[in-house]
Amino acid sequence: MNSSFNKLLTFKILIVVLLVSVFSTNFLFIERVYALSDSKQLVLDAWSLVNEGFYDPEKFDEIQWKRIRQKTLQKQIETTEEAYSAIEDMLRPLDDPYTRVLRPKDYELLKSSNFGSEINGVGLQLGEDGESNKIKVVSTLGGSPAEEAGITSGSLIEKVDGISSEELGLANTASKLRGASGTKVLVEISSESGEIREVDLERRSVDLRPVRTKRLRDDSHTIGYLRITQFSESVPKKVEEALQELKEKEVEGLILDLRNNSGGLVSSGIAVADSLLSESPIVETKDRNGIKDAIISQKELSFDGPMVTLVNKGTASASEILAGSLQDNGRSILMGEKTYGKGLIQSLKSLGEESGIAITVASYLTPNGKNIQGQGMTPDKLLDLPDASEYGSAEDKWVKNAELFLESVLEKEKISNQTIESSNEE
């Protein structure tokens, strides 16, 4: 009996020891999870935001996304800067240059360019070149140091202050180009013809002036010219005001100039399309859950006359959504060059108090189902003409071509209306 009692006692003691071990292990695990430093918590927050929003979740299985989180959190991350670097390393396997961490300075500048009217820098809007992995110039801002230095769309950024753009990546290249007004940055540029040159650019405040307009008149017709340089929050309202002003000046046709408009807020581009289309599809989006129904414009038009839309290789993102919707609905012909081909949409999320993260959350298709990503929009009429030094000026041959086309359309309408009137009188 003593033997049985001893065995039972030993068994109970063993159970108690096991329970204590389990609870101790769980306690230690809980303590480790909840004792993350602020720097590591920043990394974990970034991982969670991407995990919840990234448009292609199949990529997660391909790169072992959860394992990447585990390995990243095992690193020694003690400072905020180390956290940003760890997030960059963590995002790299996604192979999406647009999903990126934004340090406080970059986050503030991006927000100000989307919601404000000016930005400090050299006026270059950048993308990643898929073939060389270097950073490509999408467009230059009008009146900026980059435009004055003759830097053109399609050029490659070889180095910034002696550091190669391949080493820096898209976000860090853009960050190094920005800075306090009056400071300088040395940029090595290679043109599409292969010519390499160094340019010393002085940063300054660049007035974005996103909407510009004027009236073009000849002997028989009055045509409106509307240029949109970027889609910021204020643009839809400014466009409405500009169109109203042009209508009061009795313009008969409209030239919409989207050259070197590298995008901005997609919602602003869609709002402008809404003002130029009547009960027509604007765009379809494809997120992680599949294709959503097309966004349909309202019935009311802000301008209903004939249109020409000017595009070039610096026309990208939100401006391609607008151009594609106008072309596919037969509302406007496109004239110029093939566009850039950025068909991915980013959502901007706050990360901590001062930094942020941009996450690709969807791709978009034109109303006819064209996928613009990597392909761009092909104009109805290609223009093999040199770019004007000042868009919309009297020397701008692209605008002159658009003007001549609209005049021919208006003449045909005039003859057609006269024929109808004559038939009615008879």
Distance CA 117, CA 151 (A): 22
* Contact status, residue 318 vs residue 263, Cβ threshold 8 Å: yes
Our answer to whether residue 153 is catalytic in this structure is no
Taking only the tens place, the pLDDT of each residue in 169-195 is 776 788 788 877 888 999 999 988 888
| Residues forming CATH 3.30.750.44 domain(s) in the chain | 2-100
CA angle 282, 287, 290 (to 5 degrees): 95
The predicted model scores a pTM of 0.76
Our answer to whether residue 328 is catalytic in this structure is yes
* Contact status, residue 101 vs residue 171, Cβ threshold 8 Å: yes
Query: What's the average model confidence in pLDDT over 394-401?
Result: 92
Map tokens 């761009």 to a residue: 376
Taking only the tens place, the pLDDT of each residue in 128-177 is 776 777 888 877 877 788 888 988 888 999 999 999 888 887 767 887 88
Please give the structure tokens belonging to residue 109: 């500048």
Residue 385: CB atoms within 10 Å: 13
CATH: 3.30.750.44, 1.25.10.10, 3.40.50.300, 3.40.50.10420. Which one for 2-100?
Answer: 3.30.750.44
| Residues forming CATH 3.90.226.10 domain(s) in the chain | 211-412
CATH topology of domain 211-412: 2-enoyl-CoA Hydratase; Chain A, domain 1 (3.90.226)
Our answer to whether residue 12 is catalytic in this structure is no
Tell me which of 40, 159, 313, 342 is the catalytic residue: 342
CA distances from 244 to 224, 236, 286, 407, 424 (A): 11, 12, 34, 21, 33
Tell me which of 106, 328, 387, 396 is the catalytic residue: 328
Taking only the tens place, the pLDDT of each residue in 72-85 is 999 999 999 999 99
* 9-28 exposure pattern, b = at least 16 Cβ within 10 A, e = fewer: eeeeeeeeeeeeeeeeeeee
* Residues in CB range of 321: below 8 A, 6 or more apart: 266, 269, 270, 273, 282, 283, 364, 366
Q: What is the DSSP letter of 376?
A: -
Q: Is the pLDDT of residue 113 over 50?
A: yes
Q: What is the mean pLDDT of the chain?
A: 85
Taking only the tens place, the pLDDT of each residue in 282-312 is 999 888 988 777 899 999 999 999 999 999 9
| Residues forming CATH 2.30.42.10 domain(s) in the chain | 118-207
Nearest Cα to Cα of residue 210 among 137, 127, 272: 272
Distance CA 3, CA 14 (A): 16
* Contact status, residue 109 vs residue 121, Cβ threshold 8 Å: yes
CATH: 2.10.260.10, 2.30.42.10, 3.40.640.10, 1.10.1520.10. Which one for 118-207?
Answer: 2.30.42.10
pLDDT > 90: percent of the chain: 51
Tell me which of 175, 317, 319, 355 is the catalytic residue: 317
Q: Is the pLDDT of residue 209 over 90?
A: no
Segment among 108-117, 218-227, 256-265, 408-417 with least mean pLDDT? 108-117
| pLDDT the model gives residue 379 | 97
